[in-house]
Copies of this chain bind each other. A is one copy, B any other.
Amino acid sequence: MSFLTLLRDRWAAADTLLCVGLDPDPDRLPASVRNQPASIAKFCVDIVDATAEFACAFKPQIAYFAAAGAEQQLEAVCEHIRNHHPTVPIILDAKRGDIGDTAKMYAREAFVRYGAHAVTVNPYMGGDTLAPYQEHEGRGIVVLCRTSNPGSGEFQSRLIDGEPLYRHVARRAADEWSRRGEVALVVGATHPAELAEVRGIVGDMALLVPGVGAQGGDPAEVVRNGADSTRAGLIVNSSRAILYADPTNHVGGAARVARDTRDALNAAR
């Protein structure tokens, strides 16, 4: 089943637009987990099981695993999600960007090694860098468009032919890159007006929206500005606000904040 089909089924069946981001900072693991073997995977699996019913997707951030030399723990987390929550797609947040044979290797890393349903990709090098990912039929490619960081406008908002760069990326994604609906875009919740603009360009393409929770984006505004014609179309990510909600009870805290965030998103639909 393709990433897009899995995602649409999940939006409908679980009635949620929330994506749970897995950013396991070794310095912030709860004391109850920290000294166990494979503590990073243990923490992530706890979070996954506590939040799956509220999630339309999980988004592991590979940097946290790579810094700790914990790739095998990331493999274990992805396997756990596929086995125990097979209706919830995995988006590997890797923001890879490279060409030809190298991009083939990154696609193999994401889709074969980790078994992710989709991967985030950086468009700076141009649309030909997406082709190696598209050889993996049914997998999703989530292209950075307008990111949530304060300096994201430095290039993304600069005008080309009277229109900011991020709108050119959105247009290319909708008109040229996406062959069978496999392309999605990243648009930060910290830029709500631009979320509406991008939605206007891309029709019902899926949008991954980071920046609610710890980064301060407003869930209701995201839904009002970003929902598609079916009042879905959004993968609204929250990571730290869920993972570190309650250091003394990370399972209960994560479930509570995930449920509340799902509800806040749904209230605006």
CB of A155 to closest CB in B, whole Å = 6
A238 on the B face (CB < 8 A): no
Within 8 A of B (CB), among A101-127: 101-106, 108-109, 112-113, 122-127
Residues of chain A having any CB pair with chain B under 8 Å = 23, 25, 61, 63-64, 66-67, 69, 71, 95-106, 108-109, 112-113, 122-129, 144, 147-156, 158-161, 165, 168-169, 172
Within the oligomer, what is the number of copies of this chain? Answer: 2
Contact B64 A102 (CB under 8 A): yes
Contact A67 B97 (CB under 8 A): no
Contact B144 A125 (CB under 8 A): yes
* A67 CB contacts on chain B under 8 angstroms: 104-106, 108-109, 112-113
Which of B63, B126, B154 contacts A154 (CB under 8 A)? B126
What would be 5 A-B contacts, judged by CB atoms less than 8 Å apart? Answer: A23-B102, A64-B105, A66-B106, A126-B149, A127-B151
Contact A169 B155 (CB under 8 A): yes
* A95 CB contacts on chain B under 8 angstroms: 96-98, 122
* A102 CB contacts on chain B under 8 angstroms: 23, 61, 63-64
Which of B96, B101, B104, B155 contacts A124 (CB under 8 A)? B155
* Bound form: Cα–Cα A106–B23 in Å: 12
* Bound form: Cα–Cα A23–B112 in Å: 19
* A112 CB contacts on chain B under 8 angstroms: 67
* A23 CB contacts on chain B under 8 angstroms: 101-102
Contact A106 B63 (CB under 8 A): yes
CB of A46 to closest CB in B, whole Å = 20
Contact A63 B105 (CB under 8 A): yes
* Bound form: Cα–Cα A149–B124 in Å: 11
Contact B165 A152 (CB under 8 A): no
Contact A63 B155 (CB under 8 A): no
Which of B25, B71, B103, B126 contacts A156 (CB under 8 A)? B126
